């Protein structure tokens, strides 16, 4: 018996059935879709990282009197950076599993996926997707401390020179109620006040300065609660609304 006949006999005796063509299509489409999902999630994570960087206020580093490394670690969105790495790795592995994915060099796949995630992530960030996702994530995941919560913490340390609150009265000085409900009189006579601020009642502000007395805070600089980019986006949304 020839080997070819033996092979044929094996196919017939084992009743080997052919895998239908559609299964290969579905498998390939599935990998392509999972790849795109990984890119999408990577982009969302990148949008959150941009949101975190936008909220980070690196320029206050010079005013930080306690550990600068601790401060940097507290503002770096490590979890989201980790998400980017995981989804990027996933995207690369999934792309390689598509029908012709193996033909492309790993550098090209990693680079391409990274660029795609950056472009989509940046678009999502400007559309407000990063902020929304981060907020939703914080609502769902109890142990996660949101960027906003970290920011509140950062700006609730008057003894270290960082105070925030809502203006409740404006006279010669302004009176604010901080985020813990305590009232402060703010001496801003020598403070640099950001142009975007009007210092009107109900305006939420951040102040860099120092405590003079128990409830008197001398401001060196006053900023609006939201960063320039986020405020710009909010204004745009308001115009569209």
Partner 1 sequence: MNPKKNWCDQFSDTELVKKSLENVDCFTCIYERYEKRLVYYILRISSFSLAEAEEVLQESFVKAWQNLNEFDEDLKFSSWIYRIVHNTTISEWKKTQSKGKDRKQEWDEDLFQNLPSLIDVQEDFNKNFDKKNIRNVLELMPEKYREVLVLQFLEEKNYQEISDILKKPSGTVATLINRAKSKFRQMALKKQISF
Q: Which is nearer to partner 1, 94 or 167 (CB)?
A: 94
Per CB under 8 A, 30 contacts partner 1: no
CA distances from 55 to 49, 58, 59, 172, 229 (A): 10, 9, 11, 30, 9
Per CB under 8 A, 7 contacts partner 1: yes
CB atoms within 10 A of CB 57: 18
d(CA 1, CA 9) in angstroms, rounded, equals: 10
Per CB under 8 A, 171 contacts partner 1: no
* DSSP track, 3-38: HHHHHHHHHHHTTPPPPPHHHHHHHHHHHHHHHHHH
CB of 15 to partner 1, least distance (A): 11
Q: Which long-range contacts (CB under 8 A, 24 or more apart) does 137-141 make?
A: 137/48
Q: Which is nearer to partner 1, 101 or 227 (CB)?
A: 101
Per CB under 8 A, 103 contacts partner 1: yes
Q: Which is nearer to partner 1, 71 or 89 (CB)?
A: 89
d(CA 91, CA 74) in angstroms, rounded, equals: 29
Per CB under 8 A, 106 contacts partner 1: yes
Residue 163 token pair: 């105070």
d(CA 42, CA 81) in angstroms, rounded, equals: 9
CB of 9 to partner 1, least distance (A): 9
Q: Which stretch binds partner 1 (CB under 8 A): 29-37, 103-111, 207-215, 229-237?
A: 103-111
Residue of the chain from 71, 104, 114, 137 that contacts partner 1 (CB under 8 A): 104
Site pattern 54..93 for partner 1 (x: CB under 8 A): ----------------------------------------
Interface with partner 1: number of residues (CB under 8 A)? 26
Contacts with partner 1 by CB under 8 A lie at: 2-8, 10-12, 14, 16-21, 23-24, 99-100, 102-106
């Amino acid at each position: 018996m020839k080997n070819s006949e033996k092979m044929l006999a094996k196919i017939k005796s084992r009743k080997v059935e052919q895998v239908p063509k559609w299964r290969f299509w579905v498998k390939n489409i599935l990998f392509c879709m999972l790849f795109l999902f990984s890119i999408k999630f990577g982009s969302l994570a990148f949008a959150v990282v941009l949101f975190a960087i936008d909220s980070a206020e690196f320029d206050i580093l010079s005013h930080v009197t306690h550990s600068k490394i601790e401060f940097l670690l507290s503002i770096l969105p490590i979890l989201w950076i980790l998400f980017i790495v995981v989804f990027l790795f996933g995207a690369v592995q999934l792309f390689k599993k598509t029908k012709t994915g193996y033909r492309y060099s790993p550098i090209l796949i990693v680079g391409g996926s990274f660029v795609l995630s950056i472009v989509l992530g940046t678009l999502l960030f400007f559309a407000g997707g990063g902020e929304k996702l981060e907020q939703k994530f914080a609502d769902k995941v109890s142990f996660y401390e949101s960027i906003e919560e970290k920011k509140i913490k950062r700006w609730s340390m008057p003894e270290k020179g960082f105070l925030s609150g809502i203006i409740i009265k404006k006279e010669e000085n302004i009176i604010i109620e901080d985020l813990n409900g305590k009232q402060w009189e703010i001496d801003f006579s020598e403070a640099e006040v950001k142009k975007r601020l009007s210092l009107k009642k109900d305006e939420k502000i951040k102040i860099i300065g120092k405590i003079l007395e128990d409830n008197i805070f001398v401001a060196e600089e006053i900023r609006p609660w939201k960063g320039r980019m986020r405020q710009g986006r909010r204004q745009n949304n308001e115009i569209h609304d």
